[in-house]
Amino acid sequence: MPKTYNNLWSNLVSFENLYAAYHVARSGHREHMEVHKFEKNLEENLINIQNHLIWHSWTPDPFLEFVVHEPKERRIQAPTFRDRVVHHAYYQIVGPLFEKKFISHTYACIPGRGPLKAAEKAHEYIKSFPKGKRVYVIYGDMKGYFPSIDHAYLKEQTRRTIKDPDVLWLGDTLIDANGQRTGLGIGALPSQLYAGVNLDPFDHYMKDDLGVKRYIRYMDDWVVISDDKQYLERILVLAKDFLTGNPKLVINPKTRIIPITHGLDYCGYRIFRDYLLPRKRNLMLSSFPNQLLEEYVANKGWTMQKIEMRMSVNAKSENRKATKTEVLVGNYGLCANQPDLFLQLDNDIYPTNKHE
């Protein structure tokens, strides 16, 4: 039986946890009008959230919905600041409990990991083969991953870790925020966490049941690297059977086995045996020649998707143009949970001006 956790609710709804969640939620957003309005009656607003959580009468606000088109069309559902406080309060208590069960080679939206770490691990695997050896990779992907996440299956997975009935109520409320039986909104912190929880059984199936050695997953993009193409063909059949049966996901038709002849395109990098390079189309540096920015953004492997998500969430909700920092930093702070890095980047680049 999996280990489950109970007696979490009092810590989750404590004023201290909500106040800490408010601080995290406002990081990088302190000059936003929505934050100012919340802070005018800060204690009252936090107590109001606390009471509605205790009474089980809290419900999510309507999302701000819009569409981004780079690198591909996605519908974004951005939560209000009030809801982001609840999201962080929830994540601060349950996030580490889920994440401690994740395998070490899943990299999306986990503090200390991220796309660069995933690319580096893939690079390590490729280098483990003798030079000149023909190496292949399964490049796996789910079609419309966030919109196709099955709520019933996801709730089953949360109950393999959480036993506290009050926390489960809140978790179910967050899962069902779109009023449908499937789909999670891209743009909310719980969605990032649940996306990992939903595929955690697949990770353990690949590593523990099948014994796959060179397996990596970043969100719904996963790879298996080997010099045995027939072995990869068998693994791909088993992986497809698992994904279409249990999480009820649809495999992207582009999922395939390819030779790593001219490098592996993964997590915003082009990975070769002797080096890896950021993909040019995923960097937004041409208008910003500052050397610090170039090095910082390249090292973090930020993508157009993340950049446009942050730009759209912050700017569109307030009917204004995005700051340079918003455009460049993207959604990194949300996933990596490192607001101090975001603020330090602002101070390094714009030492004489205030920015979000």
Q: How much is the average pLDDT of 32-53?
A: 95
Q: How much is the average pLDDT of 153-159?
A: 97
What residues form DSSP beta bridges with 66?
76
Nearest Cα to Cα of residue 49 among 88, 26, 95, 83: 83
Structure tokens given for 196: 């990992």
Q: Is the predicted pLDDT of residue 241 greater than 80, yes or no?
A: yes
Amino acid at 132: G
What pLDDT, on the 0 to 100 scale, is given for residue 71? 59
What pLDDT, on the 0 to 100 scale, is given for residue 140? 95
Q: Is the predicted pLDDT of residue 125 greater than 90, yes or no?
A: yes
pTM: 0.78
Structure tokens given for 221: 């993009």
Mapped onto helix, strand or coil, the DSSP state of residue 225 is strand
Terminal Cα distance for the chain, rounded = 46
Q: Is the predicted pLDDT of residue 32 greater than 90, yes or no?
A: no
Average pLDDT of the chain, as a whole number? 82
Res. 87 pLDDT band, cuts 50 70 90 = very high
Q: Which residue has better confidence, 334 or 66?
A: 66
Q: How much is the average pLDDT of 292-317?
A: 47
Question: DSSP per residue over 76-102, as a string?
Answer: EEEPPHHHHHHHHHHHHHHHHHHHTTS
What pLDDT, on the 0 to 100 scale, is given for residue 304? 43
What pLDDT, on the 0 to 100 scale, is given for residue 247? 85
The enclosing H or E element of 20 equals helix 15-26
Residues 6+ apart with CB under 8 A from 340: 27
Task: Specify whether the backbone of 92 is left (phi greater than 0), alpha (psi in -120 to 50) or beta.
Answer: alpha
How far is the CA of 43 from the CAs of 68, 231, 310, in angstroms? 36, 59, 28
Largest Cα span, the chain: 66
Q: Is the predicted pLDDT of residue 350 greater than 90, yes or no?
A: no
Beta strands in the chain (DSSP E): 64-68, 74-78, 136-140, 215-218, 221-226, 256-259, 264-266, 269-271, 276-278
Q: Which residue has better confidence, 350 or 209?
A: 209
Q: Which residue has better confidence, 304 or 143?
A: 143
Distance between CA 308 and CA 329 in Å, rounded?
9
